Amino acid sequence: MVMEAQRIRQLPPYLFARIEAQIAKAKEEGVDVISLGIGDPDRPTPDHIIQELVKEAHNPANHQYPSSVGMLSFRQAVADYYQRRFQVSLDPKTQVVSLLGSKEGIAHMAWCYLDPGDIALVPDPGYPVYGIGTLLAGGTPYIMPLKAENNFLPDLKAIPEEVARKAKLMWLNYPNNPTGAIATLEFFEEVVAFAKKYDIIVCHDAAYQEISFDGYRPPSFLEVPGAMEVGVEFGSCSKTYNMTGWRIGWAVGRADVINALGRLKSNIDSGVFQAIQYAAITALTGPQDCVEAMSKVYQERRDIAVEGLNAIGWKLEKPKSTIYVWAPVPKGFTSMSFAEHVFEKTGVVITPGNGYGEHGEGFFRIALTVEKERMLEAFDRIKKNLGPFEF
């Protein structure tokens, strides 16, 4: 039998298999399961965006191969968004590339810059693709722990000099999945100085840039002076417009990095279906009240989750962005044993924090991706059946 390649064999084991089996069994037994485990918007894509897709799907000109870096009109729409929203000027021809969802670009970035043994600085807990993309390219992830006492920002001073010198990429993600943390412009300034000193390309994943609460507006990494010389930012229609299934995103920023990513991609995929690009243009340039409305929906669900936990012993602050609440497990539990305990007692699914890396141990994540009534039901069950807890 042909042996799988090392790059596949080294992929970490899937952590949630046991809990998923437990969920499947409970469903068979008729348990009314409420999943707060899924980081995927539950509401449909706004109708005006779907209508544009339908219209453009009928146009035969869109049935042929698209440009692998994206139509210029799509890249212009992304550049216009950056100008409007962040006062950041981008050249759509050289500083914007389309992606088949930002996850695709994140994974392929590693292939552009990492030779075997090269280091990428990777946050932990974090979106798994930064580390796995690094491994698939033959690179070595160096873990930057995200700790509560540092507001889940990496401590750049804790990175050893020789690691910083060898590192080629640094991954960041604010607003952050899974912690819900946000970054200040001062932190981004520190990152730019660090990247310049050690000649590192900063890759900022901004998937949650447009979901925010209590009047907060997340900044772009590219707003900071000098950021354009050291980095790129990844964005997507997925979370902003409930378009995770459509697969369209972008990378923007330093031209030679965007060019490298575009060159790699032109040899692997042939770009995004043009009708989807037209729909994304409509999303980015059309009315934005749907975006504001979604933030309000998530904010209401966030309040139910945080107030529900705080009523039985937690002391959480309300996150200012993302579709997640990140919380410590009570005394006497691991991430996994707590998730199993909650599920057994209530039928509510939460995600164990260690699924996002070793520094996620001791935490769990709640996704705000079910309707208010179901959130209320979930926290009602939690209140009635769990605790009291100590921390």
Residues that bind ligand PLP (CB under 6 A): 39, 101-103, 127, 173, 177, 205, 207, 236, 238-239, 244, 249
Bond preceding residue 125 cis, omega within 30 of 0: yes
Is 14 annotated to bind a ligand? Reply is: yes
| Terminal Cα distance for the chain, rounded | 51
Give the residue nearest to ligand PLP (CB): 101
| Residue (of 371, 55, 52, 74) closest to 252 by Cα position | 74
Is 236 annotated to bind a ligand? Reply is: yes
Cβ proximity to ligand PLP: between 99 and 164 the closer is 99
| Contacts (Cβ under 8 Å, ≥6 apart) of 60 | none
Q: How many CB atoms lie within 10 A of CB 17?
A: 9
Is 142 annotated to bind a ligand? Reply is: no
Given a contact cutoff of 8 angstroms between Cβ atoms, the answer to whether 307 and 368 are in contact is no
Least gap, CB of 364 to ligand PLP (angstroms)? 16
Is 81 annotated to bind a ligand? Reply is: no
Cβ proximity to ligand PLP: between 66 and 101 the closer is 101
Least gap, CB of 92 to ligand PLP (angstroms)? 19
Separation in Å, CA 262 to CA 47, 56, 104, 271: 31, 24, 12, 10
Least gap, CB of 176 to ligand PLP (angstroms)? 8
State the DSSP H helix or E strand holding residue 326, giving kind and residue range, or none if neither.
Answer: strand 324-328
Least gap, CB of 368 to ligand PLP (angstroms)? 13
Is 238 annotated to bind a ligand? Reply is: yes
Is 39 annotated to bind a ligand? Reply is: yes
Q: Please tell me the number of Cα atoms within 13 Å of 275 on its side-chain side.
A: 16
Largest CA distance in the chain: 63
Is 98 annotated to bind a ligand? Reply is: no
Cβ proximity to ligand PLP: between 173 and 299 the closer is 173
Least gap, CB of 281 to ligand PLP (angstroms)? 16
Q: Tokens 């990777």 label which residue?
A: 122
Cβ proximity to ligand PLP: between 233 and 346 the closer is 233
Cβ proximity to ligand PLP: between 75 and 103 the closer is 103
Binding residues: 14, 39, 127, 177, 208, 236-238, 247, 365
Binding residues for substrate: 14, 39, 127, 177, 365
